[in-house]
Structure 1
Amino acid sequence: MLTVTKMDSANMYHVTEKMTDGFVAVNKDIAFMKAHVNGSPGIIYYNSDSANFVFECVVPIEQMPKVEPKNSKIVILEEGNMLIYNYYGDPEGLYNAYGEMQEYCKTNNLQHIGPMREFYITDGSTQPDKKQWLTRIMLPVKGL
């Protein structure tokens, strides 16, 4: 998957602000490069350290741009075996989905082998009912 990304980190009190800044930078670069979005925005989570949470804001694009981005980078996300969970609801409840995924991995002898990805399929600006929001969680796994 060809993407434009911006990596950053923050403590738990500033994560939302930093993620917003990351998506602003990515979207400005997409406009600058005259690239075309090809999917839903997402975030790759590299750790769960509340003191220094490392993440990457990701937006898929159709094709390689002719110019380099100014404040982000072009990344090809690798394919692989993924446990996929389609979570419907308020993002505040995502922790329940993570717990179910962890239990599924344990029950089915799967090992988490890479950074988790979340893609925000539903546009919250056009769908006010948070119960209808779809977040696709992708967890790279391998059998034990």
Structure 2
Amino acid sequence: MANDIHITEQVEEVHTAGVRRTVPMDDLRDFFSTAFSATMRAVSAQGAHPVGPPFAKYYGMPTDVVDVEAGFPVDRVIAASGEVAPGILPGGRAVEATHIGPYETMSDSYDDIEDFIEAHSLVPGGAMWESYLSDPRVEPDPSHWRTLIHWPVT
């Protein structure tokens, strides 16, 4: 269930480094692990630094297969390195909400956000992203995991 759903009028644009693939939903955890590791190696090798938590950017609504980019916001534009490529989390108006709980219940929060978007007569953008505020290696209890969901709107 989403907490604190609200409209942010001006999300700042952020440079990113990440890996983009189309993967089955059941393979997301493995993909994230691989993408986050590869991204950190490429970012470090170029002398760049993460400036926020890891993210996953979804291009279109996830189904059984998802077009997703996973990586980190970074302090400057990086050069492509293997599968790791530069990118952007767009600026502008967005609906934001915090999901508290396991990733498997994230669809409930997305349902809440879609209801909010409809109730406020907003038009959702084609890509949304999640910022993972909790590290499962540090907080092993999924009921305490926090994920910030950003969905650009007009």
Which residue among 25, 35, 46 is the counterpart of 2:59?
Answer: 46
Which residue among 64, 88, 92 is the counterpart of 1:76?
Answer: 88
Counterpart residue type for residue 138 of structure 2: T
- Name 1:140's counterpart in structure 2: 152
User: Is the contact between residue 32 and residue 69 of structure 1 (CA under 8 Å) also seen in structure 2?
Assistant: no
Which residue among 25, 45, 56 is the counterpart of 2:69?
Answer: 56
Counterpart residue type for residue 119 of structure 2: T
User: Is the contact between residue 114 and residue 141 of structure 1 (CA under 8 Å) also seen in structure 2?
Assistant: no
Q: Does 1:93 align with 2:97?
A: no
TM-score normalised by the chain length of structure 1? 0.86
- Kindly indicate which of the two structures has a greater share of residues assigned to strand: 2
Q: Give, in whole Å, the separation in 1 of the partners of 2:150 and 2:114.
A: 12
For structure 2, the residue ranges without an aligned partner over 5 or more in a row are 1-13
Q: Deviations over 1:43-101 (max 9, x none)?
A: 01113242x42100120112345xx2422112232201100001111111111101101
By relative contact order (CA 8 Å, sep 6+), the higher-ranking structure is 2
Which residue among 125, 135, 149 is the counterpart of 1:123?
Answer: 135
After TM superposition, give the deviation of residue 137 of structure 1 in Å.
0.4
**Stretches (4+) displaced over 6 A:** none
Identity %: 22
User: Is the contact between residue 113 and residue 140 of structure 1 (CA under 8 Å) also seen in structure 2?
Assistant: yes
User: Is the contact between residue 8 and residue 22 of structure 1 (CA under 8 Å) also seen in structure 2?
Assistant: no
For structure 1, the residue ranges without an aligned partner over 5 or more in a row are none
Q: Give, in whole Å, the separation in 1 of the partners of 2:124 and 2:16.
A: 23
After TM superposition, give the deviation of residue 33 of structure 1 in Å.
1.2
In the alignment of these two chains, the number of paired residues is 139
118-127 vs 12-21, which deviates more?
12-21
Q: Give, in whole Å, the separation in 1 of the partners of 2:31 and 2:146.
A: 22
Q: Give, in whole Å, the separation in 2 of the partners of 1:69 and 1:46.
A: 20
